[in-house]
Chains A and B, each alone.
Chain A
């Protein structure tokens, strides 16, 4: 027995590591027809972890004060070794997190994985999407540059369209009538404290739910693609003869994570201005409104929808109805069929919805 094995044994008799690994190898089996889309959850976990690490590093030098925020970010970018890289990873990671989250949701949508008994999985995932949008919005303001200041002004202004309490909500968000000192303080607290804590808790709940119900079976490569779940009692969805999580699917996770890193690093090194455009290197000036200010890409569809309707109340109501419908989808779609081609109406509507969202975003970007 060599030295490393001795250390491993010493830990194993205390923590039972072998048992965990054996359980994951033989006990935790996944559907035999599982595909790469299922690894997006692991990619998201890695992204969240990376955002925490890069965020903590940025916090070492960032000053949440309107007079110092911009210069502290410039200091991180120009003076701190690898500071530019850390900030770019954090900024690009934020957009990538939302992109991967959306892809994860689309895959769940088309494979019918949200169907019973996984309503809570979908609901927690949907709330996680909203929280991810919230953490991205709050983080966007922190560098206190012209772009972030005015994009935040536009984004928070949309809230004012909510009937009866819109104005009060905007004031609550901004800490006053305008985006200013109090807004920065509030957004900073939300960004580094409250929202990450909520996200971490919900990720925990989401994983707990998956552990309790088991992984859903994809509807591809099977004769019977209907949801096998019966509502009379709790059943863990087992997959006898399936693929062991470790090492088989763990390797699929590693492939997806490596590909994600390749994409992230390609963006950071070759297209750094995609996430931090040159206009964001100008300090915020509340007295000078730049022309063509737009919110971040993930809010463009909402922004354009508000502009489409003659009244903002109608625009906000339409968005509210659409979001509620999406959140409650598993409770509304009670059909048992999971294969996208065997439920053409749903697939047609879902593809149409995604295309509409893309079209509105592009329209918003160029309007």
Chain B
């Protein structure tokens, strides 16, 4: 009985949401509309988690991984429209690699990739699925690595990456400050984006020597960005200009005083 009530509630939620989507006349992702309103936590929770993810920030919606037609409730889960449901673990690297191409190349050549299908980790093992956030060194931790192997090699990799990671964060912070001052940061951001991707992708090879070598190259590249966009606000020029104007006012006042 309760199962039927649940199904009816789900259908009702879908109809209401689909109706609202149609009324608004905008491109609404029906998967989100329907699942967000589901009374069963297992079905609604992914939407809540996804909303806080980096994929949500960049508009990467359910269909990017699960397939299907996100604009039509009737065919949203139709295999004919490419709906694949929960991807098989062995298919995950290729799926993520559709966008993260550099990463998948390094991953497949690594010990992790070679163990794919034989208990080895896939992308979601470390990064999670719906709640994937911007990658940081925190992922390389005792908690994540030791369930499968010792932390020794992971610690070496982490140490090799630490300085570069710090530099990336410092530059990101500097870009935010520059942007708040109205300085154009587009080219700097693109350069940083490219270097960060190269840095994160290269880590997936799990080759300590390669990571050390590439980190040194990336650090040298990052050093070059230090001189970009550092235009001063001309405080000295400002002080001089204000000083001159005040001096002019004083001189005019003195002349007027003598004249009066």
Contact = CB atoms under 8 A, between A and B. Distances in A.
A258 B260 CA distance: 19
B227 interface: no
B183 interface: yes
Interface string B177-218: 001111110000000000000000000000000000000000
A258 B235 contact: no
A180 to B, nearest CB: 17
B256 A262 contact: no
A255 B242 CA distance: 14
Contact of B181 (A247, A269, A270, A273): A273
A248 B242 contact: no
Contact of A77 (B184, B248, B255): B184
Contacts of B249: 254-255, 258-259, 262
Given A251-B259, A270-B238, A272-B233, A258 B184 contact: no
Given A259-B245, A270-B235, A251 B256 contact: yes
Contact of B235 (A79, A254, A269): A269
Given A255-B253, A281-B182, A248 B260 contact: yes
A93 to B, nearest CB: 14
Q: How large is the interface on B (under 10, 10 to 19, 20 to 34, 35 or more residues)?
A: 20 to 34
B242 A278 contact: no
Nearest to A265: B241
A278 B259 contact: no
Contacts of A247: 255, 259
Contacts of A278: 179-182
B183 A78 contact: yes
A145 B184 CA distance: 14
A75 B182 CA distance: 11
B230 interface: no
A265 B242 contact: yes
A92 to B, nearest CB: 12
B147 interface: no
Interface string A245-264: 00110011011001101100
A248 B259 contact: yes
Contact of B184 (A78, A248, A269, A273): A78
A360 to B, nearest CB: 29
Contacts of A79: 184
Given A251-B252, A251-B256, A258 B237 contact: no
A154 interface: no
Contact of A252 (B182, B246, B248, B256): B256
Interface string A268-283: 1110110010101100
Contacts of B242: 262, 265-266, 269
A213 interface: no
A74 interface: yes
A281 B241 CA distance: 26
B238 A276 contact: no
Given A248-B260, A252-B256, A265 B245 contact: yes
Nearest to B26: A287
A258 B259 contact: no
B25 interface: no
Contacts of B252: 251, 254-255, 258
Contacts of A115: none
B233 A74 contact: no
A174 interface: no
A251 B255 CA distance: 8
B73 to A, nearest CB: 23
Contacts of A248: 256, 259-260
A248 B259 CA distance: 7
A294 interface: no
A268 B259 contact: no
Contacts of B239: 269
A191 interface: no
A247 B252 CA distance: 11
B128 interface: no
B238 to A, nearest CB: 2
B246 to A, nearest CB: 5
Given A84-B182, A281-B179, A255 B256 contact: yes
B10 to A, nearest CB: 30
Contacts of B235: 269-270
Contacts of A270: 235, 238
A258 B245 contact: yes
Nearest to B243: A262
A266 B255 CA distance: 25
Given A77-B184, A272-B233, A261 B256 contact: no
A269 B234 contact: yes
Contacts of A261: 245, 248
Contacts of B184: 74-75, 77-79
Given A247-B259, A251-B252, A269-B239, A262 B246 contact: yes
Interface of A: 74-75, 77-79, 84-85, 247-248, 251-252, 254-255, 258-259, 261-262, 265-266, 268-270, 272-273, 276, 278, 280-281
- 5 residue pairs, one from A and one from B, having the closest CB atoms: A269-B238, A258-B249, A278-B180, A262-B245, A251-B256
Given A269-B238, A272-B182, 15 more contacts: A77-B183, A79-B184, A84-B182, A247-B255, A247-B259, A248-B256, A258-B246, A259-B245, A262-B242, A262-B249, A265-B238, A265-B242, A270-B235, A270-B238, A280-B182
6 contacts: A77-B182, A78-B183, A262-B246, A269-B235, A270-B238, A281-B180
